[in-house]
Chain A
Amino acid sequence: MDKKGIMCPDLIKQCFEQGYMGIEVSDELGGAGLKFMSAIITIEELARIDPSVSVLVDVQNTLVGIPLRKWGNKAQQEKWFPRLCTDTVGSFCLSEWTSGSDAFALKTTAKRDGKNFVLNGSKAWITNSGEAGFFIVFANIDHSLGYKGITAFLVDGSNPGIRVGKREDKLGIRSSSTCEVILDNCVVSEEDVLGEVGKGYKYAIEVLNEGRIGIAAQMLGLAQGALDATMPYIIQRQQFGKSIASFQGVQFDYAQIATEIQAARLLVYNATRLQEAGLPFVKEAAMAKLFTSNIAANAASKCVEMLGGVGFTKEFPVEKFYRDSKIGQIYEGTSNIQLQTIAGFVKKDYE
């Protein structure tokens, strides 16, 4: 899957069958009826084996599931959740070529036309879009309003005005699809507006705050997976008459990694706990994502080193973890954005 950069369709089917694609969705709508922590644990455990599969499940549950659940009306939820829980992959279309961190500078327009809106523009870096049948698209109904014109629209994959374009050939999480999504006179009805017109920016911020914890969980799983793949080998492999794992320098490396993973785990679970309790969690979520993505990149890098030559080959899974880890510091809010967010909260605490 990594080599070809394509996810095995049967694997996606099984994610649906096992109930991973609608973890927090209610029983009646086809989900597992569990809470956020269950989703986080699922994302973490999947990432221990393959961060690409983990992000598929993460986006479905967080970026797609959360807005629909929070702001979707009854009709929209009843229309989409059963499909999202059984066979339809969803994606969250916010970023564009010219707007990543500066998300609200998005250029996609939504022109009112009677009871409809016509969307035009193109989105970039959209995870899951290669397999998606459902798209939450952010467009501006009136650029003179600035970000207050941004509105979220629910678009069916069968709509002739939406199509998936170029698929990125990436360094890591290669089997997770990251494509262009093109809106070409895409007609949607006003019933497909998610929540209120002009509130899209608010929804996006809120969703990304929670989604951040999901990415942190993915990076956490990745770090653990890298360590799990490394330890048995270095315990068994010997040089100079003793096992690699018994050399002090190496011991310091894996002790450090294990400690960082433990700290990361507590950050992730704490942010999750706060979210479930309905308490403020934005600062903690940003901290979790920032810290975890950094230690995961470090862990994967060190694991390749500890494994020695074999770590550098594709015969071992660790070089993939190393490549997969890089995206953690970039997507769903770059590390610099996380730092800015955290700084804002820290400063406020002292004012």
Chain B
Amino acid sequence: MSLARVLVPVKRTVDYAVKIRVKPDNTGVETKNVKMSTNPFDEIAVEEAVKLKEKGLVKEVVAVTIGPKDAAEILRKLMAVGVDRSIHIETDEDLQPLAVAKVLKKVVEKENSDLVLLGKQAIDDDSCQTGQLLGGLLNWPQASFASEVNVEGGKAIVKREIDGGLETVSVQLPAVISADLRLNTPRYAKLKDIMAARKMTIDTSSLADWGVDTTPRFDVVSVQDPPTRAGGVKVESVQELVQKLKNDGVL
């Protein structure tokens, strides 16, 4: 029995290859005129959803993004690799994970999704919260940091990457699964499909239409470059090492 719909929330972030610069006022990272792309972990989530569809386990892959007008570009690219339908919730606001999760909850309810597959975190803020918050709000089981996903008999068997190694969990569907790096390698879109995706429609709405309270819950105080690497020091003995660590307040 195949699942009806998989929802893949995707985020438009600064492209992973870009050398980012901190804004002079330290309020954030410079994004003007900088190349933007789909968050790599979300691309991996899309690839997994498309693979599930190819295996006949899922009928339809739906992508959703919350972002400015230009975010539609990433949806087109994803439709070229197998996303069947996409939803664009337009806003110029920078939403925080809880707000995103609340909006996604409404999308899930509207779409009647059976499974949410998303990247474990976005490479711009590295929050790693949206998937988990969404699971909580929906009161659905969740399996994060997935490096392998199998769906059978109304359950998802997920291998998770944890600090100690790999952990296999079984979650009852519907569930939220967040994708980790080694889950798969996303495919390249073929020229023909890129052209075909141009003609597909995207379901566009504004953030206000969804009636969600998106007030920020925390303030970013400052964004800074990491301290420049100072030279290392060689020590002669273990005792010296321990003394140095004590002096630096590390031990």
Contact = CB atoms under 8 A, between A and B. Distances in A.
Q: Do A and B come from one complex?
A: yes
Interface centre among A17, A20, A23 (most CB of B within 10 A): A17
A258 to B, nearest CB: 19
Interface in B193-238: 195
A19 B194 CA distance: 10
Contacts of A34: 191, 195
B32 interface: no
Interface in A1-54: 17-20, 23, 27, 32-34, 38
Interface residues of B, number: 5
B25 to A, nearest CB: 28
B186 to A, nearest CB: 14
B187 to A, nearest CB: 10
Nearest to A23: B191
Contacts of A27: 192
A56 B63 CA distance: 36
A18 B190 contact: yes
Interface residues of A, number: 10
B188 A18 contact: yes
A17 B190 contact: yes
Interface in A278-334: none
Contacts of B190: 17-19
A219 B191 CA distance: 23
Contacts of A33: 192, 195
A33 B195 CA distance: 9
A26 to B, nearest CB: 11
Nearest to B189: A18
A23 B188 CA distance: 16
A34 B192 CA distance: 9
A61 to B, nearest CB: 12
Contacts of A23: 191
Contacts of B188: 18
Interface string B176-191: 0000000000001011
B40 to A, nearest CB: 20
Of the candidates A20, A23, A32, A34, the one having the most CB atoms from chain B within 10 angstroms of its own CB is A32
A33 B199 CA distance: 14
A223 B187 CA distance: 28
A131 B249 CA distance: 67
Nearest to B191: A19
A32 B197 CA distance: 12
Contacts of A20: 191
Nearest to A85: B192
Interface in A62-83: none
Interface in A138-159: none
A23 B191 CA distance: 8
A6 to B, nearest CB: 24
B231 to A, nearest CB: 15
B165 to A, nearest CB: 33
A178 to B, nearest CB: 27
A96 B192 CA distance: 37
Contacts of B191: 18-20, 23, 32, 34, 38
A34 B194 CA distance: 11
A19 B188 CA distance: 11
A349 B195 CA distance: 41
B188, B190, B191, B195 interface centre (most CB from chain A within 10 Å): B191
A314 to B, nearest CB: 26
Contacts of B195: 32-34
A17 B191 CA distance: 9
Contacts of A18: 188, 190-191
Nearest to A30: B192
A32 B191 CA distance: 6
A20 B190 CA distance: 9
A55 B49 CA distance: 36
Nearest to B188: A18
A34 B198 CA distance: 13
A38 B194 CA distance: 13
A19 to B, nearest CB: 3
A34 B195 CA distance: 9
A89 B195 CA distance: 23
A27 B195 CA distance: 10
Contacts of B192: 19, 27, 32-33
A33 B190 CA distance: 13
A87 B19 CA distance: 40
Nearest to A16: B190
Contacts of A17: 190
A38 B192 CA distance: 12
A11 to B, nearest CB: 13
Interface string B11-31: 000000000000000000000
A27 B190 CA distance: 13
Given A17-B190, A33-B195, 16 more contacts: A18-B188, A18-B190, A18-B191, A19-B190, A19-B191, A19-B192, A20-B191, A23-B191, A27-B192, A32-B191, A32-B192, A32-B195, A33-B192, A34-B191, A34-B195, A38-B191
Closest 6 CB pairs of A and B: A19-B191, A32-B191, A19-B190, A19-B192, A18-B190, A32-B192
Interface of B: 188, 190-192, 195
18 contacts: A17-B190, A18-B188, A18-B190, A18-B191, A19-B190, A19-B191, A19-B192, A20-B191, A23-B191, A27-B192, A32-B191, A32-B192, A32-B195, A33-B192, A33-B195, A34-B191, A34-B195, A38-B191
